[in-house]
Amino acid sequence: MNAAWIEVGLFFAVLLALVKPLGHYMALVYEGKPCGLNRVLGPVERGLYRLAGVRQDEEMTWKQYTVGLLLFNLLGVLVVFGLQRFQSLLPLNPQQLGDTTADLAFNTAVSFATNTNWQAYSGESTLSYLTQMLGLTVQNFLSAATGMAVLAALARGLVRRRVETIGNFWVDLVRSTLYILLPLSIVLALLLVSQGVVQTFGPAVETTLLDPTTDATGSAVATQTIPLGPAASQIAIKQLGTNGGGFFGVNSAHPLENATPLSNFLQVLAILLIPAAFCYTYGKLVGDVRQGWALLATMLLVFVPLVGLCIAAEQNGNPRLAELGVDQTASSQQSGGNMEGKEVRHGIAASALWAAVTTAASNGSVNAMHDSFTPLGGLVPMWLMQLGEVIFGGVGSGLYGLLIFALLAVFIAGLMVGRTPEYLGKKIESYEMKLAALVILIPPLVVLGGTALAVAVDAGRATVSNPGPHGFSQVLYALSSAGNNNGSAFAGLGVNNVFYNSLLGAAMLISRYWLIVPVLAIAGSLARKQTTPAGAGTLPTHTPLFIGLTAAMVLLVGALTFVPALALGPIVEHLQLIAK
């Protein structure tokens, strides 16, 4: 058990050590200053602008920025949809896989364009190499870059005074992709290949089993088909871009997608790397790095205890098994605890840490099956999603979501002392708070409304594998994942059907773009305002008091909104588990 906490401590130490250097580098990129790669990538950047007819120095209002973003993302949805529907006619399909159904193609296209990467299919048996590379991998870059661009626009809105523009979407998109996501992905992909993660255009390999067996019908099985493909390149950006879509069906639990303890460490580190570093980037962009550190501290204040709870819940194991005399104590001979659904090569600590990281960061990839976690262990990743994906969250999107809670915190604090709320010198008035309310309330409405619909109709209940509290948890988890653009699955719920593909696809669309539009509107509104000098009554937004207040806002909204639903699922399931 001590080794488990050492592993977790090392993870946080490495993560925090990388925040400042990467955050500083990203700030240089968004400020248009030399970052060290300009000589190599500068000509490529300028060539892309000329090809697209974009003027680098021409800025946009928030409405122009929004329209460009929405049209570009719509084009991405159409391209991925088309690739799936016609993949049987396209090249790089060595397995001769057929076209996907229209409802699955819609769900998958929306999923990857919205940075959700919910997967209702098994990649190795459903999608061709071309669809995985040209469709999914490209969207992994572009959907992540979209969230990063929105955060950069919001930061400009906070520091600019009496202007109408918040930057240029095309410039922010290109710089995010070219200078940040692409170099990091190349480095990580090479590291993953060195650990045995596959990267090939070769077809699946059939190999002879060392120990032949029989199938469910009693027929002899002497060979096994091992799926291959260009996996490492997609895995690198799926983690760095907080996308999470696995090349193989079981995601990063697959040995060819996550082969060793080092590859596991690199992948889980990559999930939080950019979201954490973005806090420092934000501080640099607004001219006060203390603001960025305060937001990072807010994230850690909520996240670290939940990681501890998840690990402890899994390490304590199943009390019902203890009653039967099963030894669940960790020792040199066994990991102990609840190992159901976990890979032996990862163990409990690495699996629980990944579960918390992937759901805090809007990533959604898995190295263990969350459906097999204990009730409290499964509650942690579920609630991290339900907090709005603002505890780290997606690249860019998590931080601009947390900033909305920060605006709510200063607004409430201002009302308490009878002073007009201010954040970084900008007055926060009713217009901003109405938009902030949309950002905060839309995901819970989608999650709870979608869950209610799913459990109320036959089509929603038909594919629940475990009726009762756990079955309700399966449905609630699926809607929490789609409604917060996470993409992880509890498993056990059959979702590759018209009902769930349509419902979850709509949830992903609403939760992505009905949040981006209000955030950009807030950026435009703040950019038009004059900065007010700080006075004696100004609430400092970099102090422990403000950190605690913002964290309290996140937890309070999450608790008031979702505890009643959680009480019907994992909470009552835990009570049943410990009942004598």
Calculate mean pLDDT across residues 494-509: 96
In DSSP notation, 151-209 reads: HHHHHHHHH--S-SB---HHHHHHHIIIIIIHHHHHHHHHHHHHTT--B-S---EEEEE
pLDDT digits (tens, 9 = 90+) for 336-353: 889 988 988 888 999 999
In a domain, residue 249? The reply is yes
Q: Which residues of 198-227 are buried (b: 16+ CB within 10 A; e: fewer)?
A: bbeeeeeeeeeeeeeeeeeeeeeeeeeeeb
Largest CA distance in the chain: 81
pLDDT digits (tens, 9 = 90+) for 389-420: 999 999 999 999 999 999 999 999 888 877 77
**Residue 332, pLDDT above cutoff 80:** no
In a domain, residue 566? The reply is yes
pLDDT band at 47 (very low <50, low <70, confident <90, very high): very high
What is the pTM (predicted TM-score) of this model? 0.94
CB 175 within 8 A of CB 27: no
In a domain, residue 94? The reply is yes
Instruction: State both tokens at 12.
Output: 């946080």
pLDDT recorded at residue 494: 92
Q: What is the DSSP letter of 4?
A: H
pLDDT recorded at residue 534: 78
Gyration radius (Cα) of the chain, Å: 23
Least confident range of 104-108, 206-210, 306-310, 520-524 = 206-210
3-class secondary-structure state, position 334: coil
Q: Which of 356, 354, 363, 362 is nearest to 380 (CA)?
A: 356
Calculate mean pLDDT across residues 560-569: 94
Strand partners, 426: 423
pLDDT recorded at residue 400: 96
pLDDT recorded at residue 1: 55
Cβ atoms within 10 Å of 326's Cβ, excluding its own:
10
CA distance 222 to 224: 7
pLDDT recorded at residue 492: 83
CA distance 466 to 477: 14
**Residue 176, pLDDT above cutoff 90:** yes
Q: Which of 166, 362, 365 is nearest to 274 (CA)?
A: 362
What is the percent of the chain with per-residue pLDDT over 70, rounded to a whole number?
A: 99
In a domain, residue 214? The reply is no
pLDDT digits (tens, 9 = 90+) for 364-392: 999 999 999 999 999 999 999 999 999 99
Sign, CA torsion 77/78/79/85: positive
The number of domains in the chain is: 1
pLDDT recorded at residue 279: 97
Instruction: State both tokens at 512.
Output: 């992505």
pLDDT digits (tens, 9 = 90+) for 59-96: 999 999 999 999 999 999 999 999 999 999 999 999 89
**Residue 324, pLDDT above cutoff 90:** no
In a domain, residue 217? The reply is no
Q: Tell me the Ramachandran region of residue 466: left when phi exceeds 0, alpha when psi lies from -120 to 50, beta otherwise.
A: beta
Strand bridging mode 426-427 / 220-226: unpaired
Residue numbers of the domain that contains 237: 2-208+223-578
In a domain, residue 218? The reply is no
CA distance 264 to 392: 19
- What string of H, E and C letters represents the secondary structure of 454-506? HHHCHHHHCCECCCCHHHHHHHHHHHHHHHCCCCCCCCCECCCCHHHHHHHHH
In a domain, residue 215? The reply is no
In a domain, residue 55? The reply is yes
Q: What average pLDDT does the structure give for the chain? A: 93
CA distance 572 to 565: 10
CA distance 534 to 139: 43
Instruction: State both tokens at 541.
Output: 């937004």
CA distance 504 to 550: 30
Q: Which residues contact 193 (CB under 8 A, 6 or more apart)?
A: 199, 232
Amino acid at 450: G
